[in-house]
Amino acid sequence: MAVSVHTSATPRRMVGALQRGLLHRAAKPVLFLACLLPFVWLFHGAATDALGANPQEALIRATGDWTLRFLCLVLAVTPLRVGLGMPALARVRRMLGLFAYFYAMLHLLSYSGFDMGFDLADIGADIVKRPFILVGFTAWLLLTPLALTSFNRAIKALGAKRWQTLHRLVYAVAGLGVLHFFWMRAGKNNFTEVAVYAGVLAVLLGWRLWRLPFFGRFKRVAS
């Protein structure tokens, strides 16, 4: 019996420790530095010529990968907060979202500079000509107002309900990001990583769908 109590209490202690850690005043600075590490690694790799035979393509791909990873982290906050009973997780969602936009900007700038030489006419023509570029650019456009309204003044100006409605665009952004990645990899028939991101996104969005009132009524009938 003692072993059973100890085993069941251990996860609660871990969750409590994480909750206290997230409430510590050093939590956000530590998280900021952790989110910045991929950029530091890429900058160092570019400066020391350590990104392989094609460093420009490596930068474009890596910044895109980190954009998708941060979008998945943003969408994972609420399920983890609810599932683990850790309200303090809500404190990190804004920072994760802003870093998603930061890496999306780096991805766009890397493509615009390395592939297109910052030629706006060529970039515009490429967006129209290639669907996967159009999808990626659309995702960036939709993500931009979310980044610009991620501050308390914007919430007050828009009102909480309209602000929440606007920020639900993150679901579309994540879906477009995975579609962008899928089309990019389609030419090489390499879908392993795409499947991982699509699976993670399906779980995170499926959890939200299951909590909608319609499914709530369905679950009560089924039980």
Choice among 13-17, 55-59, 120-124, 125-129 with the minimum mean pLDDT: 13-17
187-210 pLDDT, tens digit per residue, is 777 889 999 999 999 999 999 998
- Tell me how many domains the chain contains: 1
Choose among 120, 109, 133: nearest CA to 46.
Answer: 109
92-101 pLDDT, tens digit per residue, is 999 999 999 9
Three-state SS at 37: helix
Domain that holds residue 135: 2-222
Choose among 146, 211, 208, 212: nearest CA to 177.
Answer: 146
Q: Which two tokens stand for residue 2?
A: 């003692």
HSE of 70 in the Cβ direction (CA atoms, 13 Å)?
29
Q: Which two tokens stand for residue 193?
A: 């990583």
Q: How distant, in Å, are the alpha carbons of 55, 85, 99, 110 from that of 47?
A: 10, 43, 22, 15
Q: What does the radius of gyration of the chain's CA atoms come to, in whole angstroms?
A: 20
Q: pTM score, two decimals?
A: 0.90
Choose among 119, 29, 121, 114: nearest CA to 64.
Answer: 114
53-111 pLDDT, tens digit per residue, is 999 999 999 999 999 999 999 999 999 999 989 999 999 999 999 999 999 999 999 99
pLDDT of the residue at 180: 96
